[in-house]
Structure 1
């Protein structure tokens, strides 16, 4: 967006127009922006540029531009009340617009701490609230599983099934799962086992403490490569399935949550097998924006360590 100065034409009469700026023209994509501009009467006069409002709160007038609150939109409110996360994101204008509104502080109806929503962010500084949260809808995944933890939220389960079917059909190979949903109590025992084997520091590099695990949301899954049998998750990164997942998971609403080179932000060692469901719209915005962590995507602080 140009920052060039457009002088007023003092010698010509002017009129005031209320201009609705489409989402694509708004720096923050906060929904519709309404601008009050003084337009010269001459038919060939240019409109003045719209000031950036990325840091402005809803309803604040900056340079004649007022950012509308997307949460006041009836379609957003209805979708949120119905628990229809994808419809709510669409009502914001899509994944990128949703993200920008959240970062700008212009979406008071959206909480990145709500564990029932696909946009929840869980890390070492953002525990689940409540710590013992349990998803309301879980179902078994129709894939080979190497542990009894074979359930996911139904939306994440359906997306994983489609992802695995396409991976196999494309020639990448068969996918199975190692872990899906894990309850608070199961995470207690899982983490304790890692502590016993590797100590606290070692455990914290590859296992979440209870109440701090994405698996507890029912939106995270560890996948494995399968042939005559399914392999270990530690071997997944060198498989054709891993390469396919890294390239295509976003098309099914998943992101690889703990990528190589991101440990200083996520707090975990690289886990090419750990997929996190955020839904198709947010996953597309994540991919198209070149993001590598949810912390960066939502403008959150890095979370390399637990606070205490």
Structure 2
């Protein structure tokens, strides 16, 4: 390629990068404006002078008219400014966001929104009506004891066998999650911490029926609910979650994973590959589950980075959702 052609290509690339930076700034500014308007609505005080309190005062403020004391007129309640927070179409009106949603490219959606933190802020502020945290086909879906899958017997459309990391039970994952898992497994090996394998990955609604029933039979419902999801409430059913074990000469069990070199490396580095440890120790009051250092949930690199950088420990807190310590009924 000639020097002139190379310069032209570099110029076009730089122009595209400038355009993307401008788009991200517009989306971030739009989300910030909505957050500020919402905060202003909550902070504007109502100025109320109670008529009852004025009447009860023995010598309230007043004036003397013709030798007769008269109270000053009681101030009326001032009208509170009604600031209409527009359901910000700022993010959803972005052509790049619309195109990525239509293409079902979740990572591109987050990037077009300005990155994981801008995406999160827009969702929390109600500035992203085109984004549903209940859509089981999206990486950002939140499934917990108050947020069942819809439909309950949902089945992912793009499941595949694990391509690189060993599955001890012939498991399946969504293809994007499997690609990220392959990179994670290679990263663990390159770091010298040892091999990992998957004990459990996608589980269908029917499988979860029998899995949960077995836990109830063995442990009782209260104990089962602390460690196993009811059918239709399991992240495994999305194809985005897996249970990992450490392997050497053989493979260990789930309960051993957190204390292994692999488990400690995963806890520190899973976010770099788009995964989070979904159920951390000390957050059962939010997630409803005991600590499971082996349970990884794929949310994509951009969201996982925002999750890590923001110091979050639950998806509920990350997206501003209420705690889900128990089922509604």
Q: Is TM-score (shorter-chain normalized) higher than 0.5?
A: yes
Is 1:208 aligned to residue 229 of structure 2?
yes
Distance 1:191 1:29, change over 3 A: farther
Distance 1:25 1:81, change over 3 A: closer
Matching residue within 291, 294, 298 for 2:315: 294
Moved more, 115-124 or 73-82: 73-82
Moved more, 229-238 or 211-220: 229-238
TM-score by length of 2: 0.76
**How far apart are the structure 2 equivalents of 1:125 and 1:213?**
11
Which residue is equivalent to 2:248?
227
Distance 1:84 1:66, change over 3 A: closer
Which residue is equivalent to 1:284?
305
Matching residue within 180, 189, 196 for 2:210: 189
Question: Residues 112 and 120 of structure 1 are in contact (CA less than 8 Å); yes or no, is this contact kept in structure 2?
Answer: yes
What's the CA shift for 1:168? 1.0
Which residue is equivalent to 1:70?
91
Give the secondary structure class of the aligned counterpart of 1:70: coil
Distance 1:98 1:54, change over 3 A: farther
Bigger helix share: 2
Is 1:163 aligned to residue 163 of structure 2?
no
Is 1:147 aligned to residue 131 of structure 2?
no
Distance 1:25 1:54, change over 3 A: farther
Distance 1:179 1:55, change over 3 A: farther
**How far apart are the structure 2 equivalents of 1:91 and 1:53?**
23
What's the CA shift for 1:23? 5.8
Is 1:85 aligned to residue 69 of structure 2?
no
Distance 1:225 1:145, change over 3 A: same
Which residue is equivalent to 1:39?
none
Matching residue within 261, 266, 273 for 1:240: 261
For structure 2, the residue ranges without an aligned partner over 5 or more in a row are: 1-21, 42-81
Alignment length (residue pairs): 266
**How far apart are the structure 2 equivalents of 1:137 and 1:31?**
32
Q: Deviations over 1:176-209 (max 9, x none)?
A: 0011100000000111110011000010011000
5 Å-filtered alignment, 1:29-44, equals: 30=30
**How far apart are the structure 2 equivalents of 1:97 and 1:143?**
33
Bigger strand share: 1
What's the CA shift for 1:24? 6.2
What's the CA shift for 1:145? 2.4
Question: Residues 119 and 278 of structure 1 are in contact (CA less than 8 Å); yes or no, is this contact kept in structure 2?
Answer: yes
Q: Deviations over 1:130-155 (max 9, x none)?
A: 0011000111113222323x110000
Question: Residues 29 and 101 of structure 1 are in contact (CA less than 8 Å); yes or no, is this contact kept in structure 2?
Answer: no
- State the Cα RMSD in Å: 2.5
Is 1:115 aligned to residue 136 of structure 2?
yes
Give the secondary structure class of the aligned counterpart of 2:220: helix
Question: Residues 159 and 173 of structure 2 are in contact (CA less than 8 Å); yes or no, is this contact kept in structure 1?
Answer: yes
TM-score by length of 1: 0.81
Which residue is equivalent to 1:307?
328
For structure 1, the residue ranges without an aligned partner over 5 or more in a row are: 1-20, 35-50
Computing the radius of gyration from Cα coordinates, the structure with the larger value is 2
